[in-house]
Amino acid sequence: KAGVTQTPRYLIKTRGQQVTLSCSPISGHRSVSWYQQTPGQGLQFLFEYFSETQRNKGNFPGRFSGRQFSNSRSEMNVSTLELGDSALYLCASRRPGGPFPEAFFGQGTRLTVV
């Protein structure tokens, strides 16, 4: 079974630009969450999508947005990039239903804003 796939793996953008990151969850997983990891900050929750609907949102500005498609693939968009947006962006998917608390992570997209 293929794992969570994130593309691209690495990205360099200029301040003020926008960027779109993609995440394909494990087959059959309908919940997709996005996290931002920066040094010393752990993983900060961005948002979660389930069946094409945003179900939870973290404390990030409106420049960060996302969507989920009918095949559960998800995209995250950051507009008007700032230097502080440089981070590892991780996507995670979860099994539907049942006592399965764990999320499965992709390898992440390393975004560098210059």
Partner 1 sequence: DQQVKQNSPSLSVQEGRISILNCDYTNSMFDYFLWYKKYPAEGPTFLISISSIKDKNEDGRFTVFLNKSAKHLSLHIVPSQPGDSAVYFCAARTGNQFYFGTGTSLTVIP
Q: Which is nearer to partner 1, 6 or 74 (CB)?
A: 6
Summarize as ranges the residues that interact with partner 1 (CB under 8 A).
Answer: 4, 6, 31, 33, 35, 40-45, 48, 50, 55-56, 90, 92, 99, 101-108
Shortest separation between residue 30's beta carbon and partner 1, angstroms: 11
User: Is the CB of residue 78 less than 8 Å from the CB of residue 13?
Assistant: no
Q: Which is nearer to partner 1, 43 or 79 (CB)?
A: 43
User: Is the CB of residue 89 less than 8 Å from the CB of residue 109?
Assistant: yes
Q: What's the 3-state SS for 37-85?
A: EECCCEEEEEEEEECCEEEEECCCCCCEEEEECCCCCEEEEECCCCHHH
Q: Which is nearer to partner 1, 65 or 107 (CB)?
A: 107
Shortest separation between residue 16's beta carbon and partner 1, angstroms: 28
